[in-house]
Structure 1
Amino acid sequence: MKASKVLYKPFGMALGAAGGALAGAVFRKVWKAIGHDDEAPGATDQERGWREIVLAAALQGAIFAAVKAVVDRSGATTVKRLTGSWPA
């Protein structure tokens, strides 16, 4: 196994946790701005309609995927810079 891959495992896990927290914060800010509510609806929220629930879930998924891609790519690039080889 390449040294860069071994180095990347714990680094990637830490980045993933930080990225998840960042994505959650970004989603809450975006939802507050467009949803005009402090909390996004859950799938079983009886007071909210299908449209709002599906929109919130799709937006949350898109934000989490985008943040994960940025965090993963940044982490891999940093490992490449430090070790000279790509961690994949």
Structure 2
Amino acid sequence: MKASKVAYKPVGLALGAMSGMIASKLFKQAWKLVGHGREAPDATDEDRTWSEVLLAATLQGAVFAAVKAAVDRAGATATRSLTGAWPG
């Protein structure tokens, strides 16, 4: 296994946990704007419409994917700076 890949494993795990926390906070803030101050609906919220539930799920997925990609990319770039090789 390449040294850069081994070096990136613990970094990737830590970044994954951090990105989840960041994405959760960003989604809650974004939903406050979209949902007019209400909390994001769960799929089983009886008083919410299909469109509201699906919009919340779509927004949440997009935010989580974007944050994960940004954090993973930053971690890989930092690993390359430290080891001289791209992890992967």
Query: TM-score, normalising length from structure 2?
Result: 0.97
> Structure 2 stretches of 5 or more lacking a match?
none
Corresponding residue for residue 66 of structure 2: 66
Aligned CA-pair RMSD: 0.7
Q: Which runs of 5+ in 1 are unaligned?
A: none
Identity of aligned residues (%): 61
Amino acid at match of 2:9: K
Moved over 2 A (4+): none
**1:32-87 deviation digits (Å, cap 9, x = unpaired):** 11101341000000010000000000000000000000000000000000000011
Whole-angstrom CA distance in 2 between matches of 1:30 and 1:82: 35
* Structure 2 residue identity aligned to 1:26: L
What amino acid is aligned across from residue 65 of structure 2 in structure 1? A
TM-score, normalised via structure 1 length: 0.97
Aligned residues: 88
Find out whether 1:12 has 2:9 as its counterpart. Answer: no
